[in-house]
Amino acid sequence: MGQFVDLTSGDGFVFPAWVAQPDAAPRGAVVVLQEIFGVNSHIRAVADRFAARGYLAVAPSTFHRVKPGVELGYTGEDMQAGMGLKAAVEALPAPGVMPDIQAAIDYAAAQSGRKVGIVGFCWGGLLTWRAACTLNGLSAAVPYYGGGMTSPDEAARQPRVPVLAHFGERDHWIPVDSVQAFARAQPGAEVHIYAADHGFNCDQRGSYDEPSAMTARDRTLAFFDKHLA
């Protein structure tokens, strides 16, 4: 359903994004932000599923500034490699990778002619939260288990658009008390905690939890249907 296309950031940097087109005129557009494993088969499948639901989906490679063509699996070695690449991107001079996400938002808006939402997983969840607070052209944001977004500095940001956030209560990367503190700091955000581990949405990982993933999916689709209509 999808294919890679080249996008151009505001500073002229060219990077690939997986773009999945719906069969009919788009009902809206969704930018999908990768985990630390690249725009791999799982992220492409997520984008394709949004397209099957009628949304134009755009999944930019947020690793491209530090390493092109990253597609990792979920072994321990893959996780170490992904964490290193994430650290390299986070260490880029400001504004880092955010202009690439802005370019994906702008492309999604231009190609669909409709409102744009953003969803991201793990590191992509953190970037989704930052995008909701700093970038232009969004109408809704859905971070899944955004690593780091419950820290005091991140929780102090103010989103410009409605936010729906998903977390797992057994997530050893994101303590539940930090999620509860985030929810108190962001009373306007809709925050859900599931009986699941980190990565519960990914059906290629051992931490996949189908009931939680399906509930989160339904809430996400309803949220986008409401705010991107």
Q: What is the pLDDT of residue 94?
A: 96
Catalytic annotation, residues: 122, 171, 198
Residue of 135, 83, 120, 115 lying closest to 225 (CA atoms): 115
Domain locations in the chain as residue ranges:
2-228
pLDDT at 1: 72
Which pTM was predicted? 0.98
- Residue by residue, pLDDT tens for the chain (229 residues) are 799 999 999 999 999 999 999 999 999 999 999 999 999 999 999 999 999 999 999 999 999 999 999 999 999 999 999 999 999 999 999 999 999 999 999 999 999 999 999 999 999 999 999 999 999 999 999 999 999 999 999 999 999 999 999 999 999 999 999 999 999 999 999 999 999 999 999 999 999 999 999 999 999 999 999 999 8
Q: What whole-number distance in Å separates Cα of residue 197 and Cα of residue 216?
A: 13
CATH code of domain 2-228: 3.40.50.1820
Taking CA atoms, 157 is separated from 134, 179, 228, in Å, by: 9, 15, 23
Q: Identity (one letter) of the amino acid at 66?
A: V
